[in-house]
Amino acid sequence: MQLQHFKVHELVVPTMKDREITYKWKSKTADLETLEHTGEPVGVMVLLEIEHDQRNKQLTAVMRKVHWNKSDMGYEIQYLSPFDKVNYPYLTILREPITRYSEKALKIFQRKALITLDELTKTNEAVASLVKLATELV
């Protein structure tokens, strides 16, 4: 069975915490790339974050590339830059206003976001490149 027959979100198990669902595709080691400003070896991670934005009263789904490493204490450190769209792409997949949060509404939005992600993979080059990177990391 070839990898491209899978939908990218089927390759990982999402984690759920307070008002947020996160899909994480992560390199197995932290030495795939090197940080430009420090020369430190880092791993690559692609995140799909589906969450409730309380301040703006909306549900959002964003996909981003980050670098990661382990600290001396064993914590995972994520490196990203909101202004560096080349090395750290950040894409809004879907946004939907909501008057009142509910877990049921988040689950319905999750399904919509995953369908939209699959559709955008076929038509949007930036989304397609992040999805391709995610599948390579698994």
Task: State how many domains the chain has.
Answer: 1
Paired residues of 50 in beta bridges: 21, 61
Domain that holds residue 36: 3-137
The CA distance from 31 to 129, in Å, is 21
Paired residues of 53 in beta bridges: 58
Angle at 17 between CA 77 and CA 51, to 5 degrees: 90
| pLDDT attached to residue 50 | 96
* Mean predicted confidence (pLDDT) in 108-130: 93
Question: Residues 48, 116: contact at Cβ < 8 Å?
Answer: no
| pLDDT attached to residue 5 | 38
* Mean predicted confidence (pLDDT) in 74-97: 85
Paired residues of 67 in beta bridges: 44, 79
This prediction has a pTM of 0.85
| pLDDT attached to residue 3 | 35
